[in-house]
Structure 1
Amino acid sequence: MNFLRTLFWIVVTVVVVVFSVNNWTTVTINLWGGLQADSKLPLLLLIAFLIGFVPLYIWHRAHRWQTAKRVAALETVMPVTPPTPASIAEPPLSDTF
């Protein structure tokens, strides 16, 4: 499985590098008050991706942290014990299908 994950990331990296090399052009961004900024297209796309990704990633990590705290609190109140063999009952066998 690690091989497939590594292969996936290599393919993604190659696609990003090829895209960046083929689109390495300067674009002009019109800002407020008549200001203009020149930037390379791959850098602009990376910034746009991070603007969308970072807030959701922070929300996801906060949610996981909150859930882990709740689980830890519940485990201290009610410890998890594995079932004993006597408490696991097998279903009765039936002659009819």
Structure 2
Amino acid sequence: MRFLKVLFWLLLGGLVAAFVIYNGNERVAIHLWGGLIADFSLPVMLILVFLLGFLPMLLAYHGLRWRSRQRIAGLERALTDIRAVTPPAPTAAPEAIPAPAAAPATSLFPEQGA
């Protein structure tokens, strides 16, 4: 699984590098308030916009994951406390099931002429 993660990030990095190489000279003018104009490089602009959308979801994911781990740890602590307080119930050995009595041997074809 780790190999696939590394491969994915390497491919994504390669795509970004190729995009930067082929579009490095492109400029984007962003009109701001008051007549201000911000002039950005296209690759820098797209990488910033991607990170602006990706980072909040990444932070939310890690927060959810941390909270889930805390809840699981709390439940495990509660379970160990319950097991420490309550002694295990004695279990009786299962009774042996008696084997069925052997049926008398009967022939499917009784002897003829008897």
The answer, yes or no, to whether TM exceeds 0.5 is yes
Q: For residue 28 of structure 1, what is the aligned residue in structure 2?
A: 29
CA deviation vs aligned residue, 1:20-69 (integer Å, no higher than 9, x gap): 11111111111112110111001000110111011111111111111111
Deviates most, 67-76 or 11-20: 11-20
- Which one has a larger percent helix, Structure 1 or Structure 2? 1
Tell me the SS of whatever aligns to 2:10: helix
TM-score by length of 2: 0.62
**What is the alpha-carbon distance in structure 1 between the residues aligned to residue 56 and residue 4 of structure 2?**
29
Highest relative contact order (Cα 8 Å, sep 6+), 1 or 2? 1
**What is the alpha-carbon distance in structure 1 between the residues aligned to residue 28 and residue 78 of structure 2?**
59
Q: For residue 73 of structure 1, what is the aligned residue in structure 2?
A: 74
CA shift in 2, pair 1:7/1:72, >3 Å: closer
Q: C-alpha root-mean-square deviation of aligned residues, in Å?
A: 2.1
Q: Does 1:11 align with 2:11?
A: yes
